[in-house]
Amino acid sequence: MREHFVKRTVISSRIRSLLPNSIRRISRTWVLGIRTWAEYIDRVSLRGELIPPLRIRAYSGIPTLDEYFKGGHEFLDILINLCQLKSNEKVLDVGCGCGQMAIFLTKYLSNVGLYEGFDINKAAIGWCNKEISSRHRNFTFSYADVYNKYYNPGGYLKPSEFKFPFQSQSFDLVLLKSVFTHMLPADVENYLSEVSHVLKKGGRSLITFFLLNDESLEHIKRGVSSLNFRYDMGVYRTISPYEPEAAVAYDERFIRGLYDDCKLEIMEPIQFGSWCGRSRFLSYQDIVVASRL
């Protein structure tokens, strides 16, 4: 999962800042050598396969092939069984990353079906257009130069003002997988409004969160959560006050209020995840499926 990768990166950057320059240079050389060798092995093993290379997968926090296949199969099943996705429907994948879900959906969506994905990572979108769109004409990817302090600090567009580049009521299903877990309140409000705008009436959205409620807060307090959301910012918590977008958890009541405001009816129950240490769960993050009123 991307959050595990983010957590390791945040910690590693703090440790590196404490090292002498000479040690930092040596460590960079070693890391570069290991990375180059790993990418070579990865290319050889994936020759001919429609799978993103290691450098592209790592951005999405799914560097290992085991995580890649497991996550793709898991969410394809969830889209089909929980969201009742049909093979002829139109899907929007917000924050599509390295095209993980797109690749799995190429095996499910028919030629009548349609997939649109956009992301703030230009390299990932470039790979998706070159490798996926060239083989599947009903799959399209676009780059969105949206600012994110952690993932796209040079982004031009404000996420609180960004408009999805699609017409009203264009899609049957909108997916945001591990997106709102890296966005702040004003940005989430705007994106959720845009989700509602592009969904057909009766269309479904599937969005993953880290939701704060009595149960998850108790697990965090006990220290069994995989992420320590120790920094309380009101309606949300974060693992880092310096880079809050690294991982963001939201008050469940706040999120429910936003859904009501956006005319999105939550299809109960919310499928709570294992991230906080639950023993019963569907996936790692909390999954909220809703229908457009």
Domain assignment present for 35: no
Q: Which residues constitute the domain of residue 213?
A: 68-292
Q: What is the CATH number of the domain that holds 94?
A: 3.40.50.150
Domain assignment present for 53: no
Domain assignment present for 29: no
Domain assignment present for 22: no
pLDDT tens per residue across span 252-263? 999 999 999 999
What's the predicted TM-score (pTM) here? 0.85
Domain assignment present for 45: no
pLDDT in tens for each of the 293 residues of the chain?
A: 555 545 544 444 444 455 455 554 444 444 334 444 444 444 445 545 788 988 888 877 777 888 889 999 999 999 999 999 999 999 999 999 999 999 999 999 999 999 999 999 999 999 999 999 999 999 999 999 999 988 899 999 999 999 999 999 999 999 999 999 999 999 999 999 999 999 999 999 999 999 999 999 999 999 999 999 999 999 999 999 999 999 999 999 999 999 999 999 999 999 999 999 999 999 999 999 999 99
Q: How many domains does the chain have?
A: 1
Domain assignment present for 36: no
Nearest to 71 by CA among 42, 101, 99: 101
Domain assignment present for 214: yes
Amino acid 59: pLDDT: 76
Domain assignment present for 137: yes
